[in-house]
């Protein structure tokens, strides 16, 4: 008896360069989690106002490490 599961969905987190405003990080996150881009961008701006250093560092690291899809 085998309990191996085969998943057909291969979603990877990557920058969306077609709908980008700055570097495509927020757009890529929105596309990966199937959320509206505006909601992710507003959440990122809110996080930037609330925690400016941590959010800024996280955004720069994400923009460097996330691969571009297109």
What is the pLDDT at residue 14?
Answer: 87
Question: How far is it, in rounded angstroms, from Cα 30 to Cα 37?
Answer: 5
- Could you say which DSSP state residue 13 is in? -
Length, in residues, of the chain: 70
More confident residue, 51 or 6: 51
> Percentage of the chain with pLDDT > 90?
54
Question: How far is it, in rounded angstroms, from Cα 22 to Cα 12?
Answer: 20
pLDDT tens digits for range 29-41: 999 999 999 999 9
> Percentage of the chain with pLDDT > 70?
89
List the chain domain ranges.
25-65
């Amino acid at each position: 008896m085998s309990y191996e599961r085969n998943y057909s969905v291969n979603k990877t987190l990557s920058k969306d360069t077609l709908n980008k405003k700055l570097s495509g990080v927020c757009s890529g996150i929105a596309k990966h989690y199937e959320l509206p881009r505006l909601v992710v961008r507003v959440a990122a701006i809110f996080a930037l106002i609330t925690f400016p250093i941590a959010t800024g560092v996280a955004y720069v690291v994400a923009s460097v490490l996330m691969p571009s899809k297109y």
